[in-house]
Structure 1
Amino acid sequence: MRRLGRAATGLAATAVLSLTASACVTVHGELEVVPSATKDEAAKALSAFTEAYNKADKAYDPALDAAHVTGALGAINQAGLKARQVNFPDGNPNHVPLELTDAKFTIPKKAGWPRWFVADTDSNRDQDDTAADNRWVLVFVRAGADEGWKAAYLTIMLPRQIPAFKTDKDGYAEPVAPDSAALAVAPRNLSEEYASYMQDGKPDHFKPGPHTSAWREERKKTTNVPGLSTQYLDQPLDTGNFGPLGLMTRDGNAFVFFSVRNFERQTAAKGVQLKVVPDVKALLTGTVKDTITKERVSSQAVLVPPGNGAEPGQAVEVVGRLTGLTAAKGS
């Protein structure tokens, strides 16, 4: 695992990710609590994102939507387009324009920057009115007065999983402070604690499910197979544009988006050749001799109950997760 740590550290240092300072602070005397955006601004931001996303997906060119994505979604989107651009230099032969309709915007009131809002949308990537029906829930962030709106998080959820948000008399939502002591886990601690849980099962206040206990079990099954050893390393990713963002729900919980970084290191036994698929090869640095280390960024949407984290039943529920390969290194 020490060798994995060195490889992962080097990979993290060389990975090209969109990192800018946008801590939740008040600047330039902007102390007034105001809506983060108007409904019209939110609609225009969603439309601009969708248009740029489609141009980038059609051409497989990350430059075409780079100005409209950031944070976890930006890292996943840009790396994915970069890989496909290598493998499909003439563009996407199977492009189908993304459509995001029936948008429901949840806009918090807050002071200072960054400002942000949630867009709950219906995409044309599902089958409406069936068990496969889902919603695309995006978080848009604006880091400063001179910055544009960028999509930082995307979670694909079942309609019933989306909570009802707490709002004031004017319909504006209540943001959750990163250091909130009123919750079982403060949002700023979620990335570190989730990474720790995925690593060794502690702290154990994450509710069992596909993105927690089942994911850990899935990893255990692939740790040692004939001819191949796999190690996993998870690290918090919670600064700059990867910081957590959350809203209070009507029932007293917090709905929080946060990021982590995952590493997967595969080592082949003597005489066994590692298989490198095209999307991994396109992001590869170094030469694969007997080892390959893959880096991924993962964004989660969770429900955090109120409390001090020590009382029974205060389990954090991971309701959605989006993961994407961002880099790979051979050795």
Structure 2
Amino acid sequence: MPARTTAAAALAASSLLAAALSAGCSGAASSADPAKPAGAPPLTKAQAERVLASFTQAADRAGRGLDRRSLHAIETDPQLTMDVAALRLRRAVKQPAAKLQFSETTFYIPRLTGYPQWFAAGAVTGRDKQALRHAMLFTRAKAGAPWLLAADPHPGEASLSKVALDPDGYATPVTPDAKGLAVAPGKLPAAHAALLTEGPRAAGTSVLAEGPQTTETYKALKRGEKTLAGRGVTLSSRFSAAPYTVYALRTKDRGALVWYVLKQNEAYSSTRPGRLTVSGDLVGLAPTRAARTRLDTTVLVQYLATVPPKGQATVTGMYRKAVNVR
């Protein structure tokens, strides 16, 4: 969060790929009808506001002080790994984060029956053309444990406004294996990974609608591979479902709003040293001046998707960050 970077390039030779990618649940959950609430909310709206306020203060200090160690007290994976990498980039380029301030905050607190507990918060940072929406997800592992930011994809629209609330203002969680949807939330990561790796004709990918984060990203990756080949660089890229919990909330149309994470593994190779350089999003993760003929990178991508009862799921938000270079 405080370390978020908008750098478009992962490598000088592959800025097209990163630009293409950036264009653009808990066991306690229940798939009960919103009119028939089950479980109890883990906290009140006032308490959620205090959680966000405390996080904002600590994250602001970490970002402005380039202190990635302090993130361990306020975040958990995948957000922690991604923001630590982003702070390493900021430290490398000597660019502290701007003051962190949220506006237009909304809270979506599900009724739960056990741990881990979680809730979502919508907010906006920046103003006018610089405004950026957030779909933050906070989790708590057990009673007395701190609330930690686990995910924060950036929705391209006010996706959270679609979440259904019961008469008391609380949301309803949806299980990863929930029935009655175009696709079960837990199956989204594998379908999305297959589409980005093998294309929209791959088995199981028809559950996803065309769009910037699905079919257009795949096409851009293929174009990027051809561009790199013309420069003497070979690229192979593979996506897989990352080992993180899938979270979902019931929407007003009886669908679901889903948070999930993919891992992207890229392998760049060239017979000529110097063709591959560490720059853009990879800065801070590896030495920049070493001559090399191969680069293997690991990228985490958080997604937010809306799943209707029938039809296709639409990916509405993302946050992408390279987290490792070898």
Same fold at TM > 0.5? yes
Find the aligned partners of 2:175 and 2:108 in 1 and give their Cα distance: 17
RMSD: 2.3
Post-superposition offset of 1:289: 2.5
Find the aligned partners of 1:172 and 1:23 in 2 and give their Cα distance: 17
Residue deviations 1:36-80, cap 9 Å, x none? 221122111111111111111111111122211112222211121
SS in 2 for 1:252: coil
SS in 2 for 1:35: coil
1:46 to 48, 52, 61: 52
Task: Evaluate the alpha carbon distance shift between residue 253 and residue 114 of structure 1 in structure 2; reply closer, same or farther with a 3 A threshold.
Answer: same
Partner of 2:139: 141
Post-superposition offset of 1:278: 6.8
Find the aligned partners of 2:143 and 2:54 in 1 and give their Cα distance: 18
> Could you state the TM-score of these two structures normalised by the residue count of structure 1?
0.80
Find the aligned partners of 2:197 and 2:43 in 1 and give their Cα distance: 38
Q: Is the 8 A contact 1:134 1:159 kept in 2?
A: no
Post-superposition offset of 1:25: 5.0
Is it true that 1:167 corresponds to 2:165 in the alignment? yes
Post-superposition offset of 1:207: 0.9
Find the aligned partners of 1:211 and 1:316 in 2 and give their Cα distance: 12
Post-superposition offset of 1:279: 5.3
| Residues 159-238 of structure 1 aligned to structure 2 (within 5 Å) | 159-201=157-199, 202=202, 203-223=205-225, 224-238=229-243
Post-superposition offset of 1:229: 1.3
Partner of 1:249: 251
Find the aligned partners of 1:64 and 1:218 in 2 and give their Cα distance: 37
> Could you state the TM-score of these two structures normalised by the residue count of structure 2?
0.81
Partner of 2:71: 65
Find the aligned partners of 1:63 and 1:200 in 2 and give their Cα distance: 38
Find the aligned partners of 2:281 and 2:198 in 1 and give their Cα distance: 29
Find the aligned partners of 2:122 and 2:195 in 1 and give their Cα distance: 29
Find the aligned partners of 1:71 and 1:304 in 2 and give their Cα distance: 24
More strand by share: 1
Task: Evaluate the alpha carbon distance shift between residue 271 and residue 122 of structure 1 in structure 2; reply closer, same or farther with a 3 A threshold.
Answer: closer
Find the aligned partners of 2:123 and 2:308 in 1 and give their Cα distance: 25
SS in 2 for 1:198: helix
SS in 2 for 1:246: strand
Between stretches 297-306 and 63-72, larger displacement belongs to: 63-72
Q: Is the 8 A contact 1:133 1:159 kept in 2?
A: no
Post-superposition offset of 1:220: 0.5
Task: Evaluate the alpha carbon distance shift between residue 248 and residue 25 of structure 1 in structure 2; reply closer, same or farther with a 3 A threshold.
Answer: closer
Q: Is the 8 A contact 1:178 1:186 kept in 2?
A: yes
Partner of 1:115: 117
SS in 1 for 2:152: strand
Q: Is the 8 A contact 2:273 2:291 kept in 1?
A: no
Which runs of 5 or more structure 1 residues have no equivalent in the other structure?
Answer: 1-21, 27-31, 308-313
Partner of 2:275: 273
Find the aligned partners of 1:271 and 1:59 in 2 and give their Cα distance: 36
